[in-house]
Chain A
Amino acid sequence: MSKDERFRQKKQEWEAGTLKKVIDRSPERKAEFTTGSWLPSERVALPESGDFDDYNEKIGFPGEYPFTRGVQPTMYRGRFWTMRQYAGFGTAEESNERYKYLLNQGQTGLSIAFDLPTQIGYDSDDPHAEGEIGKVGVAIDTIKDMEILFDGIPMDKVSTSMTINAPAAVLLAMYIAVAEKQGVPRSKLIGTIQNDILKEYMARGTYIFPPKPSLRLITNIFEYCSAEVPKWNTISISGYHIREAGSTAVQEVAFTLADGIEYVNAALKVGMDIDSFAGRLSFFFNAHSDLLEEVAKFRAARRIWAKIMKEKFHAQKPKSMMLRFHTQTAGSTLTAQQPDNNIVRVAIQTLAAVMGGTQSLHTNSRDEALSLPTEESVRIALRTQQIVAHESGITNTVDPLAGSFYVENLTDKIEKEVWNYLNKIEGMGGMVHAIENGYVQKEIQDAAYRYQQEVERAERIIVGVNKFTIKENAPGGLLKVNPKLQEIQVEKLSRIKKQRNSDIVQNRLSALGVAAKDPDKNLMPFILDAVKDYASLGEICNVLRAEFGEYQESIVL
């Protein structure tokens, strides 16, 4: 059989198998796809000639192992990615309004930002919360706030992503409880919790407990959801913040996948079957401005994860081997200088995410380097995605950059360097040890330092910052958090604490404390009971702090 013939034959097999299965279930957006000037767009362009075995092993067909070309056979010809803008600030009431606005503007999913006290498990009346309430997201103290947040939003229809890690179990419990009040059963809930503690230790900083009990909470959630909330994505293993902290693209992938390996190991250790949870693992990456490197990064990440799942963990289901991911454009690349330039940066990064095959995307607003984004900026950011989706034409074909000598070469290079890191981390006894030794943080820090030095020396040009600068006036029209917010939130909390039945709350909390002592108990049901009776987030976390202790930063300078 000639080489070309083998390509053709394999394509036919793929069309009759993988593709047909999907198209029968969900047809493509249009009967016919063309370029802007009516040339036909191929669904999956293939090499005309060349080494078939090499192609098939490394690149393959979309929707098939090793998933280099994407996790679905039709990709955006079937359905666009989910356009999901991270939002939330101030009180639950204000955030609720913003969500309704975004849904009206054609956004297809919600993404909730919590304020820092919530993320670290402090109530609004805790001294640690001073000055931070409602600043980077919405403040949630009790289930009451969650009820307000979702008032008038159909929880059976929207998919909700919550950026919450250390206290993820508590917020998930609140979400479930509020949905049930709306009459939506938990089995119908769609969404994601970030729930990725390891990257908090190395890059983002909103940790509470040490690794061991944290991993227990995570596996508790895995087990609980696989039985009770089957459509929920139980974790979003995040490289985004690692990259924001200054890592390279290679480090972003390597450390994220190493985290993934650690979570899988934790779940296997408590006796879960790999194929029972692997399909619900999702990932979250950063899209930077080096367009082609980023595309290569996403493709390499998919290929490596597939290999890990198949060869290391012996997963059977293809779904278990698919790296599905959310992307956000790179906040750290946005400049306070000439903020409108940021629109262009975000557009390039959007192209990177889409050509890299993302499943959902948040585009940053141009004024994020200055303060909370205004409604207008958020709209432009969303429009950027819509323009790429509807006007750019890159959504008419699957994995448009496959076969580019440069991109394939970069994909291979990134893969090789990622494996080097993965092997090194394995040699250290896994990611928890690598983090506790400060190794990972040091690697990131060194890359960040190098980058910044290049910027300082103008060896790396940032337009508007170290070249093409202008004199600027301070920007106007920025959104500010209501300064009375702290008072309002504290007042609300104290009212609830007075109204609730405090004996029941105490019972719920002590039951949770007792359960926490027994490592074989799943804590989710205890937390759910506690939130339903209006125990606050801080109270629940304090019970767990007393049992588990608190994590101490392990960076090495």
Chain B
Amino acid sequence: MNKNIRILIAKPGLDGHDRGAKYVARALKDAGYEVIYTGIRQTPEAIVKTAIQEDVDFVGLSLLSGAHNELFPRIVNLLREKGAGDIIVFGGGVIPESDIPSLKEKGIRAIFTPGTPIKDITDFIETVK
């Protein structure tokens, strides 16, 4: 037995477009990871508590409503406040290119926009894990 990588796929905000999140969850499972899926409409607090209880290595956030600039950094900050700043956060969804640099500055390690092949995500996980 060895350490399995655990990943939380979460949907903060209010949009119900979970097609992408569910796809990524399933594809990551097929790639051999343990994936926890929270369902839609999760508050940053719920996501952070879940990530900690599940002791995940990664949190993947999916958001299509445009509230990423507010919600993604909230989650990173809350993790840090709870002493879980080592959990790596990445994001996906409809996110304009111009928002990406500032999100990265605020601690979101990678952003995957629509059309990203799943391999980019698994490559990212394998390099930074």
Contact = CB atoms under 8 A, between A and B. Distances in A.
Question: In the complex, A touching B, CB below 8 Å?
Answer: yes
Contacts of B15: 116, 136, 205
A131 B115 contact: no
Interface stretch (B77-85, B94-102, B103-111): B94-102
Nearest to B70: A131
A557 B26 contact: yes
Given A116-B13, A128-B14, A474-B97, A481 B22 contact: no
A449 B71 contact: no
Which secondary structure dominates chain B's binding surface?
A: loop
A335 interface: yes
A371 B96 contact: yes
Interface of B: 13-19, 22-23, 25-27, 37, 39-41, 43, 65-67, 69-71, 94, 96-98, 113-115, 117-119
Interface string A371-385: 110000000000000
A130 B71 contact: yes
A370 interface: yes
Contacts of B43: 127-128
A244 interface: yes
Contacts of A116: 13-15, 65
B22 A448 contact: yes
Given A336-B114, A337-B115, A452-B23, A371 B14 contact: no
Given A205-B40, A445-B22, A132 B14 contact: yes
Contact of A557 (B37, B41, B98): B37
Given A369-B94, A456-B118, A135 B37 contact: no
Contacts of B70: 130-131
Given A335-B115, A371-B94, A136 B65 contact: yes
A136 B66 contact: yes
21 contacts: A129-B14, A131-B67, A131-B69, A132-B66, A135-B67, A136-B66, A205-B15, A205-B41, A206-B14, A206-B16, A335-B114, A336-B114, A336-B115, A337-B115, A369-B114, A449-B23, A456-B117, A465-B115, A474-B96, A474-B97, A475-B97
A445 B21 CA distance: 11
Contacts of A475: 97
A328 to B, nearest CB: 15
A521 interface: no
A286 B128 CA distance: 40
Interface string A341-358: 000000000000000000
Nearest to A247: B19
A553 interface: yes
Nearest to B18: A205
A478 interface: yes
B37 A132 contact: no
A475 B43 CA distance: 31
A245 B17 CA distance: 7
Contacts of B37: 557
Contact of A478 (B96, B113, B115): B96
Contacts of A119: 14
Nearest to A205: B16
B46 to A, nearest CB: 11
A475 B65 CA distance: 19
A481 B96 CA distance: 13
B96 A370 contact: yes
Most A CB contacts (10 A, CB to CB) among B37, B94, B119 go to B94
A120 interface: yes
A204 B16 contact: yes
A117 interface: yes
A462 B116 CA distance: 12
Contacts of A336: 94, 113-115
Interface in A478-519: 478, 481
Given A116-B13, A245-B19, 4 more contacts: A204-B16, A205-B16, A452-B23, A474-B96
Contacts of B40: 205, 553
A297 B94 CA distance: 29
A191 interface: no
A434 interface: no
A547 interface: no
A117 B66 CA distance: 13
B44 to A, nearest CB: 8
B29 to A, nearest CB: 9
Given A130-B71, A369-B94, A117 B22 contact: no
B117 A117 contact: no
A131 B41 CA distance: 13
A86 to B, nearest CB: 15
A448 to B, nearest CB: 5
Contacts of A130: 67, 70-71
B13 A131 contact: yes
Contacts of A335: 114-115
Interface string A196-207: 000010011110
A555 interface: yes
Contacts of A337: 115
B65 A555 contact: no
A62 interface: no
Contacts of A245: 17-19
A246 interface: yes
A131 B14 CA distance: 10
Interface in A107-130: 116-117, 119-120, 122, 127-130
A555 B39 contact: yes
Contacts of B19: 244-246, 332, 448
Contacts of B114: 335-336, 369
A465 B117 CA distance: 10
A456 B15 CA distance: 25
Contacts of A474: 96-98
A448 B25 contact: no
A475 B98 CA distance: 9
Contacts of A132: 13-14, 65-67
Most buried by B among A117, A200, A449: A449
